[in-house]
């Protein structure tokens, strides 16, 4: 199977997110680094995968936890979210379709569900979350929450 060309967790250049780049004239010397760009020779470029583990997760009505694991496998994209003390340290599985945006500057993943919808999701199964049947069951739950709006 060919790897997908779309990675929802792809790193975006924070300089562009925070207000863009300073203009340059053709006569100006390039910024530091071999390619220019002002971020030094070891700075990652756009499209570089980023590890979301540790990012805060925000529902439409407040924080729900932090990313414990993330997958970018083709046809199996999901986040495992550790809800901490909010629902007694449980974890939940969120399909990539619930993610509305990722703010890399604030290290926050925003999802389009309420805290209640996340709390009522199917119980997280650490032994089955990588299996298609389990992910389909979780996906069915979140599909139904769209209809309940």
pLDDT at 64 over 50: yes
Q: Which residues contact 51 (CB under 8 A, 6 or more apart)?
A: 70
Amino acid 124: pLDDT? 85
Instruction: Write down all domains in the chain, each with its CATH number in brackets.
Output: 56-147 (2.30.30)
pTM: 0.66
| Selection from 110, 73, 105, 74 nearest residue 94 by Cα | 110
More confident residue, 139 or 50: 139
19 compared with 86, residue with greater pLDDT: 86
Digit-coded pLDDT (tens) for 11-27: 444 544 444 444 444 45
Cα-atom radius of gyration of the chain, to the nearest Å? 19
- Whether 61 shows a pLDDT value over 90: the answer reads yes
pLDDT at 140 over 50: yes
Q: Is the pLDDT of residue 28 over 80?
A: no
**What count of Cα atoms within 13 Å lies in the side-chain half-sphere of residue 124?**
20
Looking at 2-131, list the stretches that DSSP marks H as alpha helix, in order from N- to C-terminal side.
14-17, 115-119
């Amino acid at each position: 199977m060919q790897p997908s060309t779309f990675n929802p967790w792809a790193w975006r250049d924070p300089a562009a997110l925070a207000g863009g780049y300073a203009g340059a004239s053709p006569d100006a010397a390039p910024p530091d680094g071999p390619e220019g760009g002002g971020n030094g020779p070891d700075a990652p470029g756009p499209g570089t995968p980023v590890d979301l583990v540790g990012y805060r997760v925000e529902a439409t009505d407040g924080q729900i936890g932090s990313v414990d694991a993330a997958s970018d496998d083709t046809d199996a994209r999901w986040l495992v979210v550790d809800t901490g003390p909010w629902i007694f340290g449980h974890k939940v599985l969120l399909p990539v379709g619930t993610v509305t945006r990722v703010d890399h500057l604030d290290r926050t993943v925003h999802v389009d569900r309420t805290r209640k919808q996340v709390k009522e999701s199917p119980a997280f199964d650490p032994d089955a979350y990588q299996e298609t049947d389990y992910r389909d069951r979780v996906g069915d739950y979140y599909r139904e929450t769209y209809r309940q709006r």
